[in-house]
Structure 1
Amino acid sequence: MTNLLQINSSIFSSGGHSSLLANEFVDKWRTRNPNAQVTVRDLANDPLPHLDAARVSAYFTPSGARTPEQQVYVDESDALITELKEADVIVIGLPMYNFGIPSTLKAYFDRIARAGETFRYTENGPEGLLEGKEVYIFAARGGKYAGTSLDTETAYMRDFLGFIGITAVEFIYAEGLNMGDAAKDLAVAEARKRLAELVV
């Protein structure tokens, strides 16, 4: 059975433009894949605390030496990693806030980037362990940044996902959303057209 994991990172939850596009994609994908399992993680409604020293220490402490508090931190991370490992398709709703990804998404990434779980170190450098997955990223922006030096998101997302072994990454952009109604309507229409082409 195919598993899809949807991660929405808009501070407006399901009301954000990136979430609306991601939701539409997933709805169409469900129609094509009626027997699939879909898991939705909304980082606005269920945010993760930012990484801190206590959690990092817990991740590096051997299992037999962890305190009960440390085990709670590890269990939290393990659950997210299991969810990710089980997914064949990953859909991410990605707004841009102040030229970067939402801090809630960074907190999520900090939980799943663990040596021995999602990547490993080798004599040739780090190697990602989550190969064979497809990722669709719905990037919503108020301005127009794709292809410019101000688009820090695209490279960061490709670099991070590649680090954990995921290289099949498709971006669907909806840009200029704060540049007037005409620009907004055109951007959304183009993104919706592209997402319809990608549903398989």
Structure 2
Amino acid sequence: MNLLHIDTSGRPGLSGIDPHGSHTRRLSARFIARWRQARPNDRIDYLDVGQHPPAHVDGRWIHAAFTAPAEREPWMAEVLAESDRLVDQLVAADLIVVGLPMYNFSVPSQFKAWIDNIVRVGRTFGFDRARGAVPYWPMLADAGKRMVLLGARGDHGYDPGGRIAHLNHTESSVRSVFGYIGVTDVHEAAVEFDEFGGEQLAQSLREAERKVDRLVDQLSGTLANERAEAISS
């Protein structure tokens, strides 16, 4: 299978190893390392949009993306080249693992730029006015894709049912976007208490790392079972 690993933090390095390193990079690196142990033959692609963000959508991009492929001018293909590459990479992935810190209650702008490049009419969602009141449909719905979001937050209580869950527009916004294009099997783990530090942060890191380990075991086990069922059918 193909795994797409995306880091979105503006911080380079890993917490616990590098000065001012990223918690989400630490969690995603742990996930990938354990995944390689469990499934060494899987292909892993890597994107660091935190350090190398895609170009933001502009008027020329919109003009090109909403022009039918057969009618596009040469400059349009050039404008969409990066987006096409990112969409191809996403379409090829069976599992998407994202290191996703909360920036001001939502996703980093670098990751939003990536999202805007991969939500593409005719590529990841369809549109047809002849369908009436609901002209849109997800084009990745039958692809069996799964997603893992590995987060970090400065405060605490952002999980569902928490004291400030209503302020968390990070994981929920990603779920909305990917549900729109057809990816609904989404799993999460997150570190909290970053601004508090001390034992509260250390305990949250330990809990998040244990959850990462469980997710690797769960997902790799599910894939093994699916493969066994496919072989026996």
The two structures have a TM-score, normalised by structure 2, of: 0.81
| Match in the other structure for 1:130 | 140
Amino acid at match of 2:197: G
Q: Structure 1's 14 and 82: CA in aligned 2 closer, same or farther, altered over 3 A?
A: farther
| Match in the other structure for 1:5 | 4
Q: 1:59 offset after TM fit, Å? A: 0.9
**Distance in 2, Cα, partners of 1:39 & 1:50:** 22
| Match in the other structure for 2:154 | 142
Amino acid at match of 1:12: R
Contact 2:7/2:48, CA 8 A, preserved across alignment: yes
Q: 1:68 offset after TM fit, Å? A: 3.5
| Match in the other structure for 2:118 | 112
| Match in the other structure for 1:37 | 43
Amino acid at match of 1:162: G
Q: Find the residue that maps to 1:18 and give its secondary structure.
A: helix
Q: 1:78 offset after TM fit, Å? A: 1.0
**Distance in 2, Cα, partners of 1:96 & 1:4:** 23
Amino acid at match of 1:146: D
Q: Structure 1's 156 and 182: CA in aligned 2 closer, same or farther, altered over 3 A?
A: same
Amino acid at match of 1:129: M
Q: Find the residue that maps to 1:173 and give its secondary structure.
A: strand
**Distance in 2, Cα, partners of 1:14 & 1:38:** 19
Q: Structure 1's 69 and 181: CA in aligned 2 closer, same or farther, altered over 3 A?
A: farther
Q: 1:112 offset after TM fit, Å? A: 0.6
- The structure 1 residue matched to 2:171, chosen from 138, 141, 154, is 154
Alignment of 1:177-188 (within 5 A): 177-188=194-205
Q: Find the residue that maps to 1:7 and give its secondary structure.
A: strand
Alignment of 1:185-200 (within 5 A): 185-199=202-216, 200=220
More deviation, 81-90/120-129: 120-129
| Match in the other structure for 1:101 | 107
**Distance in 1, Cα, partners of 2:149 & 2:91:** 18
Q: 1:14 offset after TM fit, Å? A: 4.1
Q: Structure 1's 28 and 127: CA in aligned 2 closer, same or farther, altered over 3 A?
A: same
| Match in the other structure for 2:34 | 28
**Distance in 1, Cα, partners of 2:70 & 2:136:** 26
Aligned pairs, number: 199
Contact 1:6/1:41, CA 8 A, preserved across alignment: yes
Q: 1:65 offset after TM fit, Å? A: 4.1
**Distance in 2, Cα, partners of 1:39 & 1:58:** 27
Alignment of 1:62-101 (within 5 A): 62-101=68-107
Q: 1:41 offset after TM fit, Å? A: 0.2
Residue 192 of structure 2 corresponds to residue 169 of structure 1:
no
Q: Structure 1's 28 and 74: CA in aligned 2 closer, same or farther, altered over 3 A?
A: same
Which structure has the bigger radius of gyration?
2
Aligned residues: CA RMSD: 1.4
Alignment of 1:52-67 (within 5 A): 52-67=58-73
**Distance in 2, Cα, partners of 1:72 & 1:58:** 9
